[in-house]
Structure 1
Amino acid sequence: MMDKVIKRVRRVVRWTLNTTLGLVWFVIVLGLLAEQEAGPVNWWRLGPALALVVVFSALFLRVTKAILERRYAQRELVAGAVVSLAVALLGTGAPTSWSFVAFTWLSVAVIGVRVRTAWILSLATLLVTAPLNGYRMLDYIGDADTATQVGAVVGSFLYTALMCGTLPWANRLWVWIWRIAEEAHEGREAQARLAVAEERLRFARDLHDLVGHQLSAIAVKSELAVRLGGDTPASAEMAEVRGLARTALRELREAVKGYRQLDLTAELASVRGVLEAAGITCDLKLPYREAPGDTAPVFAWVVREAVTNVLRHSTATTCEITLRLTQEETILEVRNNGVQKDAVKNGEGSGLAGLSERLGAVGGKLTAEPDRKGGFVLRAAAPRVQEPVLAGRL
């Protein structure tokens, strides 16, 4: 059900963005109709202008596709800026019709950039198109009185400022709503995966503590019965019971081991979804190779505990997770920018003692401390070559 909602929102955003392109053709057609009524059309300028609008339309559709794929189509946008300026220069008749191409370009150029960059693009578009529209408007109205000329220039400037100040932000708003919906959906999926993982761990712990304890007791009691019974048929049967109990205990431990081990790749994907759903930008810097199998489960626990502390005990807006593989060791760093000094001073919310023990079991070490930039860095390092560690911890 949720996937259908996300797809519907994506479809609405796509149509909304492409509707802006439809407005371009609508405005141009209206301008051409008004121009035909006013007098003969200069096809030497109009033909190339219309051809460039077709080129701009193709570029615009590629840009909107990139937006929905969370990419910034820089080359298409640069080409679109050049084409829209050429259209504004070549177009005949009322300049407000042809300058709308530049406003449409701006409406997608500001998507995927910082707010400051978006304002700079809007201001730059205004500074380029406002003088051009004013000059073209004076040429369009011909020999009018001074008051009419001043009114035309002022009206052209206000129109240009209105388009530069509203159209881009409307499209940004739609894309922002779509991305918020997707991030919320991804966050819910990540939380569900984490909840399943937690339930698996609880089940594994209870299974080992309860059933494992009973099987161990059966093995010990049967061993005692074999010793007390001597060489009798009953002792032989108890020896078989002892063997079955030990086999069952070994298989139980193997099964629980699989439940208790975490997958580092899956854990990184899950915590990224949870962080972004909480409004924290997560930057994963991972090598092209996976971490060694002996250290990956331990590092998965480190990632989970570190991200839990970021969510519970910080005011972070960014979290950077870096995994490096060297010849000698595997290194994991979790860095956030919102550490609370009191929490660090009092040691609250760390919960890192268990992680230190896990890393110590593989010859590694764990450090967690604030950095000089007001953030917090958790660093785990473990040697590359180690025996499997979790099998003997049950």
Structure 2
Amino acid sequence: MRQARLIVVVVLAGFAGVYVIAGFPGAVAVFGVQVAYMLWRRCGWLLAAQAALVAGLSAGLGSSVAVIGFLGGALLLSRWWALTPLAVLGAAVIEHARHGEVRATLDATITTALLSLLIYGMGRLVDRAGELHANRAALAAGAAADERLRIAAELNDGLGRSLAVIVEGVRRALAGADMPAEVVRTARESLAMAREAAAGYRAMSLGPELTTARALLAAAGIGAEVREGHAEPLGPAGAVLAAVLREAVTDVVRLGAARTCLIETLDTDGTVRLRITDDGRRTAEDGRPGATAAQVEAAGGVLSAGLAPDGRYVVEAALPHRAAGEDEAETGRATYGESYGVVLGLLAAVLVGFSVKALLALPAGMVAPAAAVLAVVVAMQLRSVNGRHMVALGVMTVLAVAPVPVFGPVWLGVAGFVAGPVLLAFRWRVAWPLVAAVLAAVAVAGTAFGLPSAATANFTVSALVTGLVVYGLVRLARQVKELQAAREELARAAVVEERLRAARDLHDLLGHSLAAILLKCELARRLDPARARAELTGVIALAEQAEADLRSVSGEHRDLSLASEAASARSVLSAAGVEVTVDLAHPPLPAEAETVLSAVLREAVTNVLRHSSARHCAVSTALEDGVVRLRVRNDGARGARARHGSSGIGNLTTRLAALDGRLTTAAGDGWFELEAVTPLLASPCPIPAA
């Protein structure tokens, strides 16, 4: 926004400078009021003050009537826009009464109309930039809220109904009826639904896997560097790339020979690339891609792995993907297209207007060839609006210089058509010396033609102002484009973060509750009525917990209790025939820390049930050296390697990292241990999306 305002001030100051050089210092006051009206407050008294100043300069002090263009532009930006033609007509009347020449009257009228349109266009662009800057946070919040509502609707429609079916079936069983098989089937389907939904939300982004990979490598003592060059969310490609990253990092940690690992992503031309490089100095056959190779190929991508010439091992995957946030991008393109259309229309009007002014000063016999040359210049100018077109710039430079001996001093003003593209095409340290050279050439040529000093100065300043007008309009349009892109990026980031939050809660909270419900329902069907009744009573409690978890997934904040989770863990594991030892020796914890450690315990219990044939599990907490440690250790471990890169471990790593904590795992001969550490006085920060 500051840059947009500065552009407006500089362009308006250039116009005011023309009048000051012509001997009308009152233009400074007109400039000040115009800036205040456009950038501060558009109120009636400022408009009235501008009208009085303009009338005094043009009618009372004899200034060029084109100064009325300041008032015309201000009117176009107000609710009195319909009065603008009257202001331009007034300029024509005053000029005709003053000199009585048709050519001079046309020149003054064109200049007044062009200045009015220019001020209106710049005001519109600044307003648009201000709107985009002001509501960027609101858009992000609204996008997150919409996504939260969509997630809530999806989950309540599926999982909410399933929980109702389970509770109703269990209540009937408690009332004496046989528990229908539908309850167990629904519990199993609900758990699968929750896991599928969590994977789906998580698969929209590669960011969480990058966070997990960095944490796992650091925990293994491997120096990790992550360079992100992709835009989130990736959509379906994200799920495949996440699997590639997970498998590659797991191999790096498993082999244990690497000291450093570099992870890079790049998103170009509709293709997203992931590259994992480590210095483990493995053989070309070690760590070859496994099941992920088929996934990448099925997604239309390419996966390669092998030793690079420098001896490092490289895994690289490239997949095509549909542009993320396509609907939002279409909106952005429409918004920028509108601004770009305003710029092109205004720029064309300004260039044509300036060209007509030059043609009016030429003898009749030279009008046709001069018009042809100016048409080429205008076409090249409009082509140079977007991008850096050196050929067009070269053509304009030649056509601005070569015809000067033919058309005379009138052609000196065309140099301004070169100054604008120069400012747009080069960096300022190069552009301004070039512009200075253009202006110096105009001044030298004016002197060579024997023009009065005032006329030479007028041509020189006018060339600068023309260049500033071209630069200002195009740069303002680019500012709008950049702000639009930044606003959409914030909205996309908010949606991604909401999806990731839902995925974490689905996996870590609701997934555990549903797994426990399924376990108890299956157990109840195999027990005698008395013992089954106790398990079914537990199902009711777990269903209530699952409903609370579902509300949490849908966006409702909920603090968890470590003591309650430990009691639930004892109940669930005992039902599965696992002997449980619980030793909680932690002091009172901040709510954020207790909630995260509770989620860790839930995931640990779920892993014990899914990935082991445990007969004993020990849960303990302790305060050591200012940090709280939660340990969950079980025997009967199997598939520990697969667990190491799981999404659950990744979720917990991300949650703990937000509290400056960490998660570590260890495995031995048939045992597995998970340890979570968080500072007692943790300073919570937002959970990162990447």
With the length of structure 2 as denominator, give the TM-score of the two structures. 0.28
- Which protein is bigger by CA-based radius of gyration? 2
Higher relative contact order structure (alpha carbons within 8 Å, sequence separation ≥ 6): 2
